């Protein structure tokens, strides 16, 4: 009988201590889950720059998609003008289109230059500079190709710009959903 009392008391004591230990574990788990649920926002400069990179990426991709057929048409008309006589109005329209494409590439380059400049001058963005660096030069290569009359080749540096922008977006922290 004494053995039974000792066993019952020891089981009761272990149950009491196990309950206290379990309560401590729950408190620790709560603190851990609270920390996990809180999300850290990237600095404002990084969030704003991420949005600008995303916008420029969309602009470059849209421009390359539109430039393809236009560039092919311009170069086809140039070849036709060299091989046979074209009407003066068709030749004039082609020259206008060339100037419009060159102006559009210049405008695109301006936006890319401003973006790269932000990454060079803002301390919070300098750690991402290596991935975005050179987009201005690539846009300049596209402009130079267009000025030289190689409109189809002007797409290649712009595709490289799009790749650099994509790589930069992958490195930059995204803002958590609220």
CA separation for the pair 178, 159 (Å, rounded): 33
Distance, in Å, from the CA atom of 122 to the CA atom of 6, rounded to the nearest integer, reads: 72
In a domain? residue 23: no
Stated pTM of the model: 0.72
156 found inside a domain = yes
165 vs 43 pLDDT, higher one: 165
pLDDT digits (tens, 9 = 90+) for 8-62: 445 444 554 555 444 445 444 445 444 444 566 667 888 899 999 999 999 999 9
Looking at residue 41, its pLDDT comes to 64
Q: Which domain holds residue 150?
A: 44-171
The pLDDT assigned to 40 comes to 67
DSSP states along 90-155: HHHHHHHHHHHHHHHHHHHHHHHHHHHHHHHH-GGGGGGHHHHTTHHHHHHHHHHHHHTT-TTTTH
Kindly indicate the confidence band of residue 166, based on its pLDDT and cuts at 50, 70 and 90: very high
51 in any annotated domain: yes
Looking at the predicted structure, is the pLDDT value of residue 3 above 90? no
Secondary structure (DSSP) of 52-87: HHHHHHHHHHHHHHHHHHHHHHHHHHHHHHHHS---
Domain containing 163 — which CATH number? 1.20.120
Q: What is the mean pLDDT of residues 136-158?
A: 95
pLDDT of residue 81: 79
Residue 34, pLDDT score: 47
What is the model's pLDDT at position 11? Answer: 46
Is residue 92 assigned to a domain?
A: yes
Residue 161 and residue 120: Cα distance in Å, rounded? 17
Residue 177 lies in a domain: no
**Per-residue confidence (pLDDT) for residue 99, from 0 to 100:** 94
Beta carbons of 143 and 102 less than 8 angstroms apart: yes
The alpha carbon torsion through 169, 170, 172, 176 (nearest 10 deg) reads 100
The Cα 143–Cα 99 span in angstroms is 11
Torsion (CA) 68, 72, 78, 81 in degrees, nearest 10: -140
Domain annotation covers residue 32 = no
- Is residue 8 one of the residues assigned to a domain? no
Write down the pLDDT at residue 143. 96
pLDDT at 6 exceeding the cut of 70: no
Who wins on pLDDT, 123 or 45?
123
- Residues 61-113 have pLDDT tens digits of 999 999 889 999 998 888 887 877 778 888 889 899 999 999 999 999 999 99
Number of separate domains in the chain: 1
């Amino acid at each position: 009988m004494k053995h039974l009392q000792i066993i019952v008391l020891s089981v009761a004591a272990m149950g009491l201590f196990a309950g206290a230990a379990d309560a401590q574990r729950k408190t620790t788990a709560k603190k851990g889950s609270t920390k996990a649920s809180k999300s850290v926002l990237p600095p404002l400069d990084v969030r704003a720059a991420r949005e600008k990179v995303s916008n420029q990426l969309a602009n470059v991709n849209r421009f390359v998609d539109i430039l393809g057929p236009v560039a092919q048409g311009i170069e086809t008309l140039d070849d036709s003008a060299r091989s046979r006589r074209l009407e003066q109005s068709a030749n004039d329209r082609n020259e206008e289109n060339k100037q419009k494409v060159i102006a559009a590439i210049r405008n695109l380059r301006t936006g890319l230059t401003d973006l790269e400049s932000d990454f060079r001058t803002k301390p919070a963005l300098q750690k991402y500079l290596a991935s975005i660096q050179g987009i201005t030069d690539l846009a300049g290569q596209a402009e130079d190709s267009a000025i030289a009359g190689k409109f189809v080749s002007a797409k290649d540096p712009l595709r490289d710009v799009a790749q650099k922008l994509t790589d930069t977006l992958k490195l930059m922290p995204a803002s958590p959903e609220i």
